[in-house]
Amino acid sequence: SNGGSATVKVQVTATCVLAYPNPYSLSSGKLLTFWGSGVVPYDTKIKIYTLGVDLVKTLKEEKGADTIDWDGRNESGETVVPGIYFYTSESPKEKNAGRITVVK
């Protein structure tokens, strides 16, 4: 820097599938959003697992969007308990894995 000031616009594109916000608060009333270059409209599947590798929820992008939302509920419609969860994503572009922390 030369000591001057300038405004620089930066655009960030995830090169995989990321979860936001992470940690995810169940009491926030908001959805957890999976986003990034690995989310292919109509053709992405995300699976969420417990630490014991039990399947919690399968999400599929079926609306033509470049994000997938999760409401913190399992396949039975029950709210999950706070803790650490793993997720996998699969699309024609890539396969990915990540971690979500769920808080009260």
Sequential DSSP letters for 3-35 = S-----------SS-EEESSSEEGGG-PPEEEE
Whether residue 79 is predicted with pLDDT greater than 70 in this model: the reply is: yes
What is the per-residue pLDDT for 60? 97
Closest CA to 18 of 74, 81, 83, 67: 67
Whether residue 7 is predicted with pLDDT greater than 90 in this model: the reply is: no
Whether residue 1 is predicted with pLDDT greater than 70 in this model: the reply is: no
Q: pTM for the complete prediction?
A: 0.84
